[in-house]
Amino acid sequence: MANHFIKIIVAVTLTVSCMGVAAPAWANTEVETAELLIKLLQVGRAVISDHQATINDASKGDKGFTSDFVSNQVIERFRKATKIDLSRPSAVPQAPLFLAMVESEKEVIEEAQPVINKQGVGFKGMIPAVFARKSGERFYRKTGIRVKLTGTDYRFPGNRPDDFESEVLRIFADTRHPKGQPYSKATMLDGKPVLRMMDPEYAAATCLGCHGNPKGERDITGAKKEGWHEGDLAGAISIVIPMR
Ligand code: HEC
């Protein structure tokens, strides 16, 4: 299965490409694929975020927040953002790969149905970051492509940045780095050529209930708040695409 998807990724030799710096034309496909996969995860996360009040509603049992609802929303939002319509996959060259991400997100919501529909429980731990992590894990098992959320002051141990990610997070934190600009590089990982991309994320007002102040105080999840302020670098989505 994984090989099938990797074959879709055309070979890119070891070429360093930083967005903004000229990259060879044939590297563009992989960079674009990475960007679009990140976008698919971001729109999925936004669907969770926009329905957080419903998910957390203790008074309701069945919430209608089904896996089909979420995957339709993801496809619709992705189409609006990119003009790529995954409901007509035959017209999309990379459709199998993109649909593997949609399917991963769908499975996470399917698996969480008993939790989401539990009456009498408010906060259930089904939040955008957890959704993104679980979707990324499933997507990796399907495709061999790693996608994760990471940050310098990470909460979940599996989100710990590796050396490359730590370095890029330092670049993102530097005020000279244009805000919001992703970083990509063709490099080696475990002796194999990969394309890596990271897309920085910044703290919005909505994040501060959990990640804000007072620093060290417990948030609704029971974890200690990081003390971020609006606009601070929060972390990044990191993707690793194997190449051949
Ligand atoms: C309801 C509380 C809550 C809110 C609101 C929230 N987060 Fe988080 N965030 C968490 C939790 C819990 C984790 C750990 C998720 C996991 O288990 O993988 C996390 C993880 C992360 C991570 C991955 C690194 C890590 O800490 O493991 C980033 C980056 C992040 N959040 C950024 C944000 C941003 C940006 C926002 C606002 C758009 C936000 N968060 C809103 C609770 C929250």
Q: How far is the CA of 129 from the centre of ligand 1 (A)?
A: 5
Domain count, the chain: 1
Q: Is 137 in the pocket of ligand 1 (CB under 6 A)?
A: no
Give residue 121 CA to ligand 1 midpoint distance, Å: 21
The whole-angstrom separation of Cα 132 and Cα 135 is 5
For residue 29, the model assigns a pLDDT of 85
Place of tokens 């529909």: 117
- What's the CA gap between 214 and 212, in Å, rounded? 7
The reply to whether ligand 1 has any atom less than 6 angstroms from the CB of 209 is yes
Range of the domain at 137: 2-242
pLDDT, position 27: 55
Span 175-197, pLDDT tens digits: 999 999 999 999 999 999 999 99
- Rounded to 10 deg, the angle between the 67-82 and 95-111 helix axes is 140
In degrees and rounded to multiples of 5, residue 190 shows phi and psi of 50, 40
Q: What is the pTM of this model?
A: 0.90
Cα torsion angle, 49, 50, 53, 56, sign: negative
Model pLDDT, residue 15? 37
User: Is there an atom of ligand 1 within 6 Å of 234 CB?
Assistant: yes
